[in-house]
Structure 1
């Protein structure tokens, strides 16, 4: 019985002029809280359906260099960073060859990681020009950072000596 009476009481309260005034006042107060209108900064790309519902999904051509070999290479580079980062400090000697190998491995690891992010989050079929621009930007950034690391290694103290000095400062 209480549940039947509850819905009718709510209807009566909602139809009351006092209730309507409080709803309007609360809406005005909430609207005053928002300072800007909602704007889409990046509108979604065009939505295009190719084919029909019953078409099979296209299977990309198989390539081991873009599949399991690529993943294995990424894991080997990531795993090799651990001994390369520890060896100069544990051995107590600073070797320029080891320092250059560490810089090259960090550069390759960063490049492949950002490349995987671009491949995952900028789809080729929806935004081909954006993806190409991101890949070219990544390649340019990798070249610039590689040149900067080379310059830092050859004309300055090197990355491991810099880390050692920062650590003891």
Structure 2
């Protein structure tokens, strides 16, 4: 350190100081402002990017909430449509069952009426045939019985006996 103090030159010191100050002034005038401006621009850019990222995050949250809401509405509409479709299907089935039952009842009633009409017609025909057959038998019996005078008298006596006994 002693040697530094011995080699010290005040003119050189002043010259170096002036050069340093000129260099600092030149740096301030030409480099410092652009460096500070670029740093400020970069800081503003970073701040803007952070704000944009925060805004995008908030927008994403809002969009996600809107999507959830729309999805929930779509589910509710789908459930409502399914419920309505089930009700319509049940109504259609009930109507079809009712129609089928009424048609079956109608067919059964018509069949019963047809059976009753056929039965009445068969009974009437049977009565007619029995009456005709009875008349034919009676006619043959009466012809045979009344052909002979003795037989006629016996038949009248027998009828009188039957009539008095009862």
Q: TM-score, normalised by structure 2?
A: 0.21
Task: Find the structure with the greater CA-based Rg.
Answer: 2
- Larger proportion of helix: 2
TM-score (normalizing by structure 1): 0.21
